Amino acid sequence: MAVQMPLGGALLMHRLVRICTSRQGHQRYRELHPLLKIATRTWEVRTFSAGPKNGSENEDEAGSSASSSPVPSLTPRQGLLSRRRPLSPLERISRLLPQDSLSPEVLQLRQENQEEPEVDTRGGEDPALKQDVSDSVVQPKGSDTQQNGSSCLSATLPGESLLVFGELLVAEYRKKGWVEFRKMFKLQEGMRLHSSWGTIGHDEIAGQPSGRFLRTHLGMAILVRRASLEDYVLYMKRGPAIAYPKDASSMLMMMDITEGDIVLESGSGSGAMSLFVSRAVGSKGKVLSVEVREDHHKTAVCNYNRWRASWRLQRGEEWPDNVCFHNADLRTASPLLAGWGFHSVALDLINPHLVLPTVIPHLHPGAVCAVYLANITQVIDLLEGLRCLALPLLCERIIEVPVRDWLVAPARQKNGRFCTRKDPIVDQHQRVENAPSDDDQEMTVSDHPPFGSVPYIARPHPEQVSHTAFLVKLRKYTQ
C-alpha cells in the first residue's frame, strides 16, 4: 500500500500535466492561427500581385473590411517572431502550482517571460530586423552612386582614362581570397555581363574608372578592370595550346631581347608568343612569325589585331605593328628568310630539329635559340638531332618553370573576429598569469588592430599550375 500510493499519485500528476499542456497548446494555437494566416496572405499578395484589383465590388468590400477591422501587415519573419517560444517542463509544472510555493528563481523566470517585447505589427519593420539587414550588407570599395556627383567619375591622375566601349575588360568575384568567377569580355553598348552572381549592364560599366567594384542585380560586388596582356593571352580564343606567360617570360630572358631586335618565331599557334615578343622589341624592332597550318595562322592574326584595337582605346596610342605573319613551312622557307638576320629565334614546334638547318644560318653568332617543348621525349629527339646534324649549337640549359601559388591571410575566429597573437608559454606558472580575463575586450571586424598584433596563416593554394613545358636554351657558336 505504501508503494502503490506514491505510484498512483505520480500517474495522476502525469495525467494532469498532459491535459493542461494539451489544453494550453490548443488555446495558443487558436489565438495565433488567425494572425499567422493573415501574415501569409499579406506577404503573398504583396509579392506576387502585379496589377490593381478589378471590379468596383471588390474594392468596396476591401474598403469596408479595412475600415471595420484593420488588418496588420506582417512579414513572414515578423509572424514567426510573434510566436512565443515553447515552454520547458519546469515552466509547465510551475504553472500548475500556487505562486506561494514557487522558488525565487522560478518567479524571476516567469517575470522575464511576461516582460518579453512583442513585435510591432501595426506598421513598418522591426527596427532590430532592419538594423540586422543593414549590417549584413557590405558596401564594395569605391561603389559610389551616380548621385554623389560626377567628380568621382572623372579622370584625376595624369594619363588616367575611363572605360569606353570596345575595350577588353576582366570581371572577377572573390570570396575569402578565392577567385570564384573570372571572365574576359568586350565592352559593348546595350549588352550585359552574365554570371551566377548576377548581371551588370555594359552601359553601367562604361564611363567608370578601371578597378571599380560594381554591384549586380543580386547585390554582389564584382571587380571590373582592364585586361592585361597576361589576362588576354590566358582567356583569348585559342586554336592550339599557348605558351603560358610564366614560360614566355623565361624565354624572353633566355633570348635577351631588347628594343629594336629582329626575332624569328616559328609556330605562331594562337599568337601568344607573338604578342610577348612584339612588346619586347618595341616599335623599332621586327618579328617574323611563321605558321604551317592555315587555321592556326588565321587565329594568331585575329588575336593580334584584337589586342591592338583594345590597346588603342586604352592608351590612346597605337600598339606597334611590328609582327609579320606568314603561312609557310619553315623547312622549305629559305626564300622567305633570304636577307634576314635575327638576334634570337623562338621555336614552338613538335620536331624543332627539322627546321634548325634552315634557321641557324640566319642567326647571329653568339645569339640564342629558345625551344618550347611539351614533353621530355621531344627534348631527347632535339638533342639527338643536334648530335646527328653537327650544327654549331651549344645546349646550355634545359629547364622547367614551376610556379606555386600561396594563400596568406590573417587568422580569424568563426565569428569573424581577428585572432590575437600571444607570447609563447614557457612554464605552467606563466600560463596561469597570462590567462585571459573577462575584462579583456576582443577585437572585432570593424576594429583596426595595431601592427604585428594579428597572426597570419600561410599555406599553398590547393589549385596549382602543373607542368606546361620544357625550355631548351641553344646558343650558336663559331668554329
Mean pLDDT score, 328-345: 93
Instruction: Note the helical H segments in 256-368.
Output: 272-281, 294-315, 334-337, 356-359
Does pLDDT of 210 surpass 70?
A: yes
Is residue 16 assigned to a domain?
no
- Residue matched to cell numbers 501569409: 40
Does pLDDT of 468 surpass 60?
A: yes
Same domain, 351 and 367: yes
Predicted confidence at residue 464, as pLDDT, reads 87
What span, in angstroms and rounded, lies between the C-alpha atoms of 204 and 216? 10
Predicted confidence at residue 11, as pLDDT, reads 65
- Residue matched to cell numbers 551616380: 146
What span, in angstroms and rounded, lies between the C-alpha atoms of 384 and 127? 80
Task: Read off the DSSP letter of residue 190.
Answer: T
Same domain, 353 and 371: yes
- Residue matched to cell numbers 570599395: 141
Same domain, 206 and 241: no
Is residue 336 assigned to a domain?
yes
Domain boundary among the residues 177, 193, 227 is at 227
What pLDDT band is residue 84 in, cutting at 50, 70 and 90? Answer: low
Same domain, 385 and 245: yes
- Model confidence, pTM: 0.65
Predicted confidence at residue 179, as pLDDT, reads 87
Task: Read off the DSSP letter of residue 55.
Answer: S
Predicted confidence at residue 423, as pLDDT, reads 75
Q: Which three cell numbers stand for residue 158?
A: 595624369
What span, in angstroms and rounded, lies between the C-alpha atoms of 416 and 437? 21
Predicted confidence at residue 213, as pLDDT, reads 95
Residue 369 Cα distances to 34, 64, 260, 385, 401, angstroms: 85, 92, 18, 15, 18
Same domain, 248 and 337: yes
Whole-number percent of the chain with pLDDT over 70: 66
What span, in angstroms and rounded, lies between the C-alpha atoms of 73 and 321? 68
- Which tens digits make up the pLDDT trace of 58-82? 444 444 443 444 444 555 545 544 4
Which residue would you say has higher pLDDT here, 124 or 161?
161
Long-range contacts of 49-55 (CB under 8 A, 24+ apart): none
Domain that holds residue 325: 232-403+469-476
Is residue 449 assigned to a domain?
no
Same domain, 317 and 172: no
Q: Which three cell numbers stand for residue 21?
A: 499542456
Same domain, 219 and 312: no
CA dihedral 305, 307, 310, 316 (to 10 degrees): -90
Number of domains in the chain: 2
Is residue 87 assigned to a domain?
no
Same domain, 192 and 311: no
CATH of the domain at 319: 3.40.50.150
Does pLDDT of 261 surpass 50?
A: yes
What pLDDT band is residue 376 in, cutting at 50, 70 and 90? Answer: very high
Is residue 122 assigned to a domain?
no
Cβ atoms within 10 Å, residue 280: 20
- Which tens digits make up the pLDDT trace of 237-249? 998 989 999 999 9
Mean pLDDT score, 202-209: 94
Whole-number percent of the chain with pLDDT over 90: 50
Same domain, 280 and 265: yes
Does pLDDT of 291 surpass 90?
A: yes
Predicted confidence at residue 214, as pLDDT, reads 95
The pair phi, psi for residue 284, each rounded to 5°, is -90, -15
Domain boundary among the residues 174, 199, 227 is at 227
What pLDDT band is residue 374 in, cutting at 50, 70 and 90? Answer: very high
Which residue would you say has higher pLDDT here, 196 or 11?
196
Does pLDDT of 440 surpass 50?
A: no
Is residue 170 assigned to a domain?
yes
DSSP three-state, residue 164: coil
Domain boundary among the residues 227, 245, 278 is at 227
- Which tens digits make up the pLDDT trace of 396-433? 999 999 999 998 989 988 888 888 888 776 666 655 55
Predicted confidence at residue 432, as pLDDT, reads 54
Does pLDDT of 150 surpass 60?
A: no
- Which tens digits make up the pLDDT trace of 1-18? 444 446 666 666 766 656
Is residue 258 assigned to a domain?
yes
Cβ atoms within 10 Å, residue 58: 10
Mean pLDDT score, 193-213: 94
Does pLDDT of 145 surpass 60?
A: no
Mean pLDDT score, 149-170: 77
Same domain, 223 and 243: no
Mean pLDDT score, 452-475: 91
Predicted confidence at residue 466, as pLDDT, reads 86
Same domain, 277 and 327: yes
What pLDDT band is residue 320 in, cutting at 50, 70 and 90? Answer: very high
CATH of the domain at 195: 3.10.330.20
Same domain, 237 and 219: no
What pLDDT band is residue 107 in, cutting at 50, 70 and 90? Answer: confident
Mean pLDDT score, 186-215: 94
Element (H, E) at 200: strand 198-201
